[in-house]
Chain A
Amino acid sequence: GAVVSQHPSWVICKSGTSVKIECRSLDFQATTMFWYRQFPKQSLMLMATSNEGSKATYEQGVEKDKFLINHASLTLSTLTVTSAHPEDSSFYICSAGDRLATYNEQFFGPGTRLTVL
C-alpha cells in the first residue's frame, strides 16, 4: 500500500518557539491532506484540510494563525505550530488521500509527538 511519512516522529521544544511538522506521500500524489490532533486516551480530531496550491480549511475552534499549514506540492504538507505552549503538546497525525487508489483511499502517517516545555 501507499506510504505516508511524518517528520519528526518526536519533538520537544520550549514554550514560545515554533515547530514544523512535515507530512509526505512517498509513492503517490496527494491533492488533499488532513491534519488531526490526538490527546492522550482520546480520539483523533480533525484540525484542518490541506489542499495543494490553495489555502487550508480549518475546523471550528482551530486557530489558523497558530497552526500554519502549507501544501506547496503534491507530496508535501507542513504544519507549523507557532509560539507553542504546553497545551499544544499532543500527537499530530496526517493523512493523505490518493485519488487514484481504490475507494479514494486515505493513508495515515505514523504521527508526531509534540512536547512543549
Chain B
Amino acid sequence: AQTVTQSQPEMSVQEAETVTLSCTYDTSESDYYLFWYKQPPSRQMILVIRQEAYKQQNATENRFSVNFQKAAKSFSLKISDSQLGDAAMYFCAYRYNNNDMRFGAGTRLTVKP
C-alpha cells in the first residue's frame, strides 16, 4: 500500500523568508503523481504544485518549488518569499493513475509578520 509521511506537524516562517516542508512516500510503482495541496481555514483544497514521477525536472509554480528525489522517495516543498496568505495546512499527496489521492498527515504553516 502507498503511504505518505509528513514528519513536521507544524512549521513557522517569517514573512518574506523561505521555508521547506518535508514529505516522504512509499510505493512500488514507477510512474505516479505527487502533489502539494493547501487547505486554508475555509477547508477548500487548493492545488499548489504537481510533479509527475517520470519527469526528472523539479516542478515550480512561481514562489513554490519542489525537490523531488525519486530514489529516496522524497518530495519536499519550498516556499520562497513567504506571504501572510501562505498560512494554512499543507498536505502532501500521492496518486497512481486515475486512482484516489493518498494524503500525508499535514503540516500547519504559520507565517509571522
Chain A positions within 8 Å of B, measured between CB atoms, are 32, 34, 38, 42-46, 49, 91, 93, 95, 97, 99, 103-104, 106, 108, 110-111
Residue of A nearest to B46 (CB): A108
Instruction: State how many residues of chain B have any CB contact under 8 Å with chain A.
Output: 19
Chain A residue at minimum C-beta to C-beta distance from B43: A111
**Smallest Cβ-Cβ distance to A102: which chain B residue:** B50
CA distance A97 to B96 in the complex (A): 13
User: A-side binding surface: helix, strand, loop or mixed?
Assistant: strand
Closest 3 CB pairs of A and B: A108-B45, A43-B103, A34-B100
Contact A106 B95 (CB under 8 A): yes
Asked whether, in the complex, the Cβ of B105 is within 8 Å of the Cβ of A99, the reply is no
B 82-106 to A, binary, CB cutoff 8 A, 1 in contact else 0: 0000000001000101111111111
Give me the interface of B with A, judged by CB distance under 8 Å.
Answer: 33, 42-45, 50, 52, 91, 95, 97-106
Q: Are A46 and B100 in contact (CB under 8 A)?
A: yes
Whether the Cβ atoms of A106 and B101 lie closer than 8 Å is: yes
Contacts of A95 in B (CB 8 A): 45, 100-101
Interface of B is mostly: loop
The CA-CA distance from A45 to B106 in the complex, in Å, is 12
B95, B97, B99, B101: which contacts A44 (Cβ < 8 A)?
B101
**CA–CA, A60 to B95, complex, Å?**
18
Chain A residue at smallest Cβ distance from B108: A41
The residue that B52 contacts in the complex, of A44, A45, A99, A103, with Cβ under 8 A, is A103
In the bound assembly, the distance between CA atoms of A10 and B100 in angstroms comes to 24
Q: Which residues of B contact A32 (CB under 8 A)?
A: 98
